[in-house]
């Protein structure tokens, strides 16, 4: 069974999407449409901007979404997924690629999500940190013992979990997790505490936009971040999308569930190779490719 997976924030690079644009046809038309929808020339930043410009949340999220969705569309009739999933932001790319949402609605939601997250980041001094080499249960337990907001946010693969929260609480958790035997506890260069309770204002802001967006049954099950289960029901997809901003990304569990459900070939659609690497950590023999 073929699984197609879509990356999240952090996979961006200058020059991304330029080849797709230069192919002309539908790819070029969609990029041009995106410039009009967003109200700024995102293609210029993607193709020839600076790393700093591309790192801005309001640019990064739509840029990765565009690269991923247009890459999937460029496959034409070869895009025949038996299952899809996306890491955080990538869940929106997966939904559009699988026909649950149209391109314009998906891009508008991603842009609204980026702006709402940016605002929430500016409201409280917050951050995220990657914890390597500890069992998930140990990380969860230490976070629960720290005063202040700090939670498990991204279950990336066994032995790699990202925590998220208020900066002092994350720093304290890092110190305690290092004592508990973590190989590394590394503060990440991110704008704020994604996938934590500190994103509640963004969740509230985005909830209305998601509720007003038409979502149809996708062409195959989507494994959503919130519970790592396969879903095709539009109402459930909406609920999970709204919950996603403050809930952890259960990517380890998503990969394990996809493999248990018969995935034997995984294709990463979009910039970078992060998700291919994470799947290989779960099953070294798995066939993985990228688009």
Average pLDDT, the chain: 96
Residues 108, 120: Cα–Cα separation, whole Å: 18
The catalytic position among 27, 68, 93, 195 is: 195
59 CA to centre of own chain = 14
Query: Which distant-in-sequence residues (6+ apart) come within 8 Å of 169 by Cβ?
Result: 146, 147, 148, 149, 150
Distance (Å, whole) CA 4 – CA 2: 7
- Residue 195 falls in the annotated catalytic set: yes
Average pLDDT, stretch 33-38? 97
- CATH 3.40.366.10 residue ranges of the chain are 2-122+197-290
pLDDT at res. 190: 83
Q: Write down the catalytic residue from 88, 111, 164, 196.
A: 88
pTM of the prediction?
0.95
CATH architecture of 2-122+197-290: 3-Layer(aba) Sandwich (3.40)
DSSP calls for 228-259: --EE--HHHHHHHHHHHTTS-B-HHHHHHHHH
Residue 164 among the catalytic residues = no
Q: What residues does CATH 3.30.70.250 cover in the chain?
A: 125-187
CA nearest to 70, candidates 104, 105, 97, 43: 97
Fold that domain 125-187 belongs to in CATH:
Alpha-Beta Plaits (3.30.70)
Q: What is the pLDDT of residues 138-187, one digit of tens each?
A: 999 999 999 999 999 999 999 999 999 999 999 999 999 999 999 999 99
In angstroms, the CA 274 to CA 144 distance is: 29
Rounded to an integer, what is the distance from CA 48 to the centroid of its chain?
24
């Amino acid at each position: 069974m073929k699984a197609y997976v879509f990356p999240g924030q952090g996979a961006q690079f200058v020059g991304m999407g330029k080849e797709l644009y230069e192919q002309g046809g539908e790819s070029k038309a969609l990029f041009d449409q995106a410039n009009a929808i967003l109200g700024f020339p995102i293609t210029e930043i993607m193709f020839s901007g600076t790393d700093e410009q591309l790192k801005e949340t309001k640019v990064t999220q739509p840029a990765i979404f565009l690269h991923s969705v247009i890459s999937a569309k460029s496959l034409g009739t070869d895009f025949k997924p038996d299952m899809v999933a996306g890491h955080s932001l990538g869940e929106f790319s997966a939904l559009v690629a699988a026909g649950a949402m149209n391109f314009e609605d998906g891009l508008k939601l991603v842009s609204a999500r980026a702006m709402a997250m940016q605002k929430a980041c500016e409201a409280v001094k917050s951050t995220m940190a990657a914890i390597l080499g500890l069992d998930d249960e140990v990380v969860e337990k230490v976070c629960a013992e720290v005063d202040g907001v700090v939670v498990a946010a991204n279950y990336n693969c066994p032995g790699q979990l990202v925590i998220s929260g208020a900066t002092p609480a994350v720093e304290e958790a890092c110190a305690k997790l290092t004592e508990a035997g973590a190989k590394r506890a590394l503060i990440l260069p991110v704008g704020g505490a994604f996938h934590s309770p500190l994103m509640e204002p963004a969740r509230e802001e985005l909830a209305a936009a998601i509720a007003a967006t038409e979502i149809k049954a996708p062409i195959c099950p989507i494994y959503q971040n919130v519970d790592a289960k396969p879903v095709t029901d539009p109402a459930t997809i909406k609920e999970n999308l709204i919950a996603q901003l403050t809930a952890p990304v259960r990517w380890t569990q998503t990969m394990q569930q996809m493999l248990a459900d018969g995935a034997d070939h995984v294709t990463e659609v979009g910039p970078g190779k992060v998700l291919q690497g994470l799947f290989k950590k779960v099953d070294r023999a798995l066939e993985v490719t990228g688009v």
